[in-house]
Chain A
Amino acid sequence: DMLFSRLNFIFGPSAVPALGLVDQRAVTRVTSPSGRTAYQVLGSSGKPYTCYSSCHFCTCPAFGFTVLQKSESLLCKHILAVYLSQALGACQELSVSEEQLTSILLAEEEDEG
């Protein structure tokens, strides 16, 4: 409970939705033979969002708005879910080929382009 309380304090509105995603096992760690990793989180709408492992980045619109533009939050619920899933060992694992991982990372860029 103490941990929950601390989570809640720091992350405020992102905390409950992030835990919800963890409950649903929505976080998948995607790895490729070269060791590169990325995370895919199934959003509430069913749409998968990609979160980077090397830094805070998520392809969801909330990230772009609240974190990057308005600096109102440190991260979005998907990134928090990634961290929590890692901590709790609740990540699903998926191994893909290099090409597939590349397309995951690049596909998002095309969307935004």
Chain B
Amino acid sequence: LRRGGLAERLCRLQNRERSAISFWRHQCISDTKTSGKKHKSGVLIVKILEMCEECTIQVAVCQQLEQTPATLSPGDAAVNAGEPILKVLFARETAAHLKSRPQDVILIHPPWQKLLLKNTDVPVIMNTYFSQKVLLSEHSETGEKAYSLTKMPIRKNVISLAQTFRLDDLGDALHQEPSENQVACAPQIPNNCDSKQHPLVPSAVNDSLLEMVESQGAVGWREVQVRVVIQRVYCLPAREGSRSYVQGNKPLAAPPTMNSDLPNVRLCLLVQDAYGMFSEVQLQSLSSADDVEQYCRRWEGRFCCLAGMKILQRTTRGRALGLFSLIDSLWPPVVPVKVPGQTQGSEMMIKELPPPSFCYILAVQSSEIDVEVDEEEQISHLYQPPAVRGLKDILQMDGCNERCSFWARVLYLRLQTKGHVPINQREIWLFVTDTTLQNVVPRMPRVVGVTVAASCVLSTEISEALSVASQRVFFKDALWGNGRIICVERTVLLLQKPLLCSAAGADLSELTGPVRLDELDSTTQANSICALRGTVVGVNERTAFSWPTCDRCGNGKLELCPQDRELLYCNQCSEVVVSPVLKMQLEVFLSCPSRSQSTVKVKVQHEMSCGLFVLINVLLSLQSYEVQSVLGKEVGLLNCYVHAVTSRPNCVGLEEIVLL
């Protein structure tokens, strides 16, 4: 700063003022209450009628009072006609200190300044650094405290660009030369305090999510409605925070154990506005995901109006990989989107538009749906239905974390229990196939494993259906990456194909004939299923054991009858088990020509065993495990689940399974 210059003078003044203000404030605290006291002349007493904020300055329309009201209650809203109206400006720091609201009475100590503008009658009071709020009574003090805890939203008057650029008064000849007595920007302070209309609220419905989000915080934003297209409907687990794992096989941090009556999933929509911007809207909490199929059918592709949304978060690509992988699958938009500043987008522009890098997550304010879905109207052109592909194409995709949709038959289901994980945290492995894989393709597996992570919400209908019989399931928006297909949050499993889906050359025909599994060979990996044939070369006698089970209910934990220690008793049936079924578990070593280098160890259970059934039956009937008689026997095609594959020693551990 130049020595002796104006800036230096102002700097010194600023410092003087700052210290004066803090000194005065300190003094105020130690002062006694001010109600009813007569003040020194020069003190301005005002009651706030209305407040708004403009460019960080708080503008309060007030009424000047003669003296401090002694017994005025805060609820007294009557405006005395005779009292003059003032517009008082408070600097940001003063306003934060005062925390005033309408109907408050403020004492403004000198030095303050009055400004009379040319065009208006209402005088402006400035330099209100030494302001104090009048505490009216004992009662209101505690009320004040409670009030000040809740941050009151204050209307922010946004000066429109038209005003800044003076587009309204282009007719004006020259802008006036400011004189020394008048603050230069005075003509620019618009009298917007009086207008009830918020500048951004049109009476028509908006079509920009960004505008709605940016107008939040201002009074009247609740009336802003945005019209959007619902691209996807799905359920998210209720506790999902902003951290979403892409490799969904890691269970989320354990929430309390699931109580089926409590809401633990949230219905969510992924919406897109006319400018191509996406937003995830969280609707009400549901206790289960049972209706999601219905919502998908009714709502996807339709227009809906959002109003009065609460902004939960503005998330970016790096923080919400799962969400953005879904957004990427819907990019670029299929119809031209609007570009701010232009009325119509062009075809060429779509291809050049970069995918979005941020997304707002909104939520409804109350438990009622603030979202009106227009179910009557036609499907929007902006809607991109899931693109169904054959599994063969998906396995050949070289992207990472790409969303894909397919229609496949589930052959086998396995729950992965790693340690003590609660039921709702378990991962489910599904082994699926479709016609594209079953028709023999070199170097492609016939069956592929799909991991269903705990974050992927399944409806009870699907869960039950999957465990009972082989089902055709539509996997909507599963993730493909690192050579695996996983179902994570935002993936939806449906029992029926949705009405709208684009099948780009995918073969969606039903599988004919029996399903064939890949045969055990050198490329077989752990956690897959395969078929094998071989010769018995050994039996692991150490791990063989048998146990009786109830013939009625299959209960494997039978007890000895208290009365007669020779008989067995089943708790579940509450009856004596007369003829128990003997189950036996046995590990058999096979020599398989398809994988001749490895020791193949197959765990078989008596009841399920098909190929080995006859052999074991023979053993049992003889009441002895004649290993010799089993050796060398040929075993036909067994369906197995591969537990582990180790290279040193070269061993494959399998378990015989029954396909659905």
Within 8 A of B (CB), among A4-24: 4-12, 15-17, 19-20, 22-24
Q: Is the CB of A9 within 8 A of B13?
A: no
Q: Is the CB of B165 within 8 A of A20?
A: no
CB nearest to A24 among chain B residues: B2
CB of A88, distance to nearest CB on chain B (Å): 8
Q: Does A103 contact B (CB under 8 A)?
A: no
Within 8 A of A (CB), among B97-116: 111, 113, 115
Q: Is the CB of A87 within 8 A of B17?
A: no
B: interface residue count bin: 35 or more
Q: Is the CB of B6 within 8 A of A19?
A: yes
Q: Does A2 contact B (CB under 8 A)?
A: yes
Q: Is the CB of A4 within 8 A of B9?
A: yes
Residue from B158, B166, B184 with most neighbouring chain A CB atoms (10 Å): B184
Q: Does A67 contact B (CB under 8 A)?
A: yes
CB nearest to A52 among chain B residues: B165
Using Cβ atoms and an 8 Å threshold, which residues of chain B touch A1?
13
CB nearest to A53 among chain B residues: B175
Using Cβ atoms and an 8 Å threshold, which residues of chain A touch B1?
16, 20, 23
A65 to B6, CA, bound (A): 27
Query: A-B contact count, CB below 8 Å?
Result: 104
A16 to B165, CA, bound (A): 25
Q: Does A57 contact B (CB under 8 A)?
A: yes
Q: Is the CB of A4 within 8 A of B13?
A: yes
Q: Does A94 contact B (CB under 8 A)?
A: no
Main secondary structure of the interface of A (DSSP, over half): helix
Q: Which of A6, A22, A71, A75 contacts B127 (CB 8 A)?
A: A6
Using Cβ atoms and an 8 Å threshold, which residues of chain A touch B177?
86-87
A74 to B127, CA, bound (A): 17
Q: Is the CB of A23 within 8 A of B10?
A: no
Q: Does A68 contact B (CB under 8 A)?
A: yes
Using Cβ atoms and an 8 Å threshold, which residues of chain B touch A17?
7
Q: Does B441 contact A (CB under 8 A)?
A: no
Q: Does B140 contact A (CB under 8 A)?
A: no
Knowing A8-B14, A8-B17, A12-B91 are in contact, say whether A19-B5 is a contact too (CB < 8 A).
Answer: yes
Q: Is the CB of B180 within 8 A of A68?
A: no
Report B's interface with A, CB cutoff 8 A: 1-2, 5-11, 13-14, 17, 55-57, 89, 91-92, 111, 113, 115, 126-127, 129, 156, 158-159, 161, 164-167, 175, 177-180, 183-185, 188
What are the 6 closest A-B residue pairs judged by CB atoms, nearest first?
Answer: A23-B5, A20-B7, A19-B7, A83-B184, A19-B6, A55-B166
Question: Could you list some 17 contacts between A and B, CB below 8 A?
Answer: A1-B13, A4-B13, A5-B17, A6-B183, A9-B126, A9-B127, A10-B89, A10-B126, A19-B6, A19-B9, A23-B7, A53-B175, A54-B175, A57-B165, A83-B178, A83-B184, A84-B184
